[in-house]
């Protein structure tokens, strides 16, 4: 691990100011992803800004009838919150499906959104990876890519986003609140927060340098039956081959998918009725698979069909 300096921020604005003043700085809260990357020297921040003391660890009702989830709320606390379990059940299910109890006790809401890909070539510093080293190439294309993306990919990167929580946030139409060093706040729809790789796969979100996440806001409850289905190689402590967050309502199904793209994948125009094949066909139009990961398309359809059947039952 490379040497680094360390400081604690007391407010969100102070954290953003610190990050802007020190090029190469990184925010750290639970550290469940960042510390691993630092040990492998994939991430080599010169300065760490501890944001656990910013006071952003509460969940509160919004005037619109939704919930505002502080950036530092731990995954365990978020999943267990009575309001989340009652009104946003798909979020609780997604959180409990992720990682382990120990990691959920440390991982934060903002950190979960910002976790980086688990592509094996990203983690192997001897391999070419445009996300880790822009311009070096993508060893995953033509390599072992069974777990990697089937839609929204590019010639520069076929990695996937690994968060379960983000998939549920996408189907719930959440928004991400931020603040910059000048104190300017903005709200980013979750649909626009994560970026597709294009020619710049190292740029993963819509955040500007130094911009700090303060909260994630959920709109007022949509009702319906909430299901999260995660298909993986083993029953626990594994990332999704395919996952689906589904909300079953009388007029049809909302569906967002994980494990298939650089971001949680949802196509609202495809959400007509309750026929899984029709919804999956519209959602994955334009998919680009490899011989190793082509199975993800029928798997996604079957996962959605299973979620719909469970909701109807």
Crossing angle between the packed helical segments 296-312 and 276-283, to the nearest 10 degrees: 140
The model's confidence at residue 181, banded by pLDDT at 50, 70 and 90, is very high
At residue 117, the 3 state secondary structure works out as coil
Of residues 23 and 211, more confidence is placed in 211
pLDDT computed for residue 124 by the predictor: 97
- Chain mean position to CA 153: 16
Tens digits of residue pLDDT in 230-241: 999 998 888 999
Give the contacts of 10 (CB within 8 A, at least 6 positions apart).
53, 54
What is the phi/psi pair of residue 153, to 5°?
-85, 175
Residue 90: how many other CB atoms lie within 10 Å: 26
Q: Do 190 and 173 form a contact (C-beta atoms < 8 A)?
A: yes
Token reading at 145: 């890519």
Query: Can you point out the beta strands (E) in 238-301?
Result: 242-249, 252-258
Q: CA angle, 110 as apex, 37 and 191 as ends, to 5°?
A: 105
At residue 9, the 3 state secondary structure works out as coil
The partner residues of 9 in beta bridges, in order of sequence, read: none
pLDDT computed for residue 237 by the predictor: 83
The predicted model scores a pTM of 0.96
pLDDT computed for residue 267 by the predictor: 98
Tens digits of residue pLDDT in 27-79: 999 999 999 999 999 999 999 999 999 999 999 999 999 999 999 999 999 99
Tens digits of residue pLDDT in 139-177: 999 999 999 999 999 999 999 999 999 999 999 999 999
Distance (Å, whole) CA 214 – CA 57:
10
pLDDT computed for residue 251 by the predictor: 87
The model's confidence at residue 93, banded by pLDDT at 50, 70 and 90, is very high
For the chain, what is the mean pLDDT? Answer: 97
Alpha helices in the chain (DSSP H): 12-21, 34-39, 75-80, 82-87, 89-97, 101-106, 109-114, 120-123, 165-171, 190-193, 276-283, 296-312
Strands of 25-28's sheet in order across: 5-8, 47-50, 25-28
* pLDDT of residue 1 exceeding 90: no
Distance (Å, whole) CA 129 – CA 275:
38
Tens digits of residue pLDDT in 122-139: 999 999 999 999 999 999
Distance (Å, whole) CA 303 – CA 230:
8
């Amino acid at each position: 691990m490379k040497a680094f300096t360390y400081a604690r921020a007391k407010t969100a604005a102070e954290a953003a100011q610190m990050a802007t003043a020190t090029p190469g700085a990184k925010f750290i809260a639970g550290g469940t992803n960042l510390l691993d990357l630092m040990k492998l020297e994939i991430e080599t921040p010169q300065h760490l800004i501890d944001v656990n003391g910013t006071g952003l660890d509460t969940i509160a009702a919004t005037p619109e009838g939704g919930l505002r989830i502080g950036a530092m709320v731990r995954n365990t606390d978020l999943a267990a919150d009575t309001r989340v379990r009652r009104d946003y059940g798909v979020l609780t299910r997604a959180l409990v499906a992720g990682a382990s109890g120990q990691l959920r006790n440390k991982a934060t809401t903002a950190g979960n959104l910002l976790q980086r890909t688990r592509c094996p070539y990203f983690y192997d510093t001897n391999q070419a990876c445009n996300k880790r080293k822009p311009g070096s190439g993508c060893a995953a294309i033509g390599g072992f890519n069974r777990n990697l993306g089937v839609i929204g990919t590019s010639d520069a990167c076929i990695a996937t986003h690994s968060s379960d929580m983000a998939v549920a946030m996408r189907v719930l139409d959440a928004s991400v609140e931020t603040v910059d060093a000048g104190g300017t706040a903005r709200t980013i729809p979750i649909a626009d927060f994560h970026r597709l790789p294009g020619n710049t796969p190292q740029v993963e979100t819509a955040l500007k340098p130094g911009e700090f996440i303060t909260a994630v806001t959920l709109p007022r409850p949509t009702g319906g039956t909430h299901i999260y289905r995660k298909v993986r190689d083993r029953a626990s402590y594994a990332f999704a081959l395919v996952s689906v967050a589904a909300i079953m309502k009388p007029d049809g199904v909302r569906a967002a998918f994980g494990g298939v793209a650089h971001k949680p994948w949802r196509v609202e125009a495809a959400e007509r009725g309750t026929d899984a094949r029709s919804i999956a066909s519209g959602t994955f139009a334009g998919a680009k698979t490899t011989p190793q990961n082509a199975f993800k398309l029928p798997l996604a359809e079957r996962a959605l069909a299973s979620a719909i059947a469970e909701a109807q039952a």
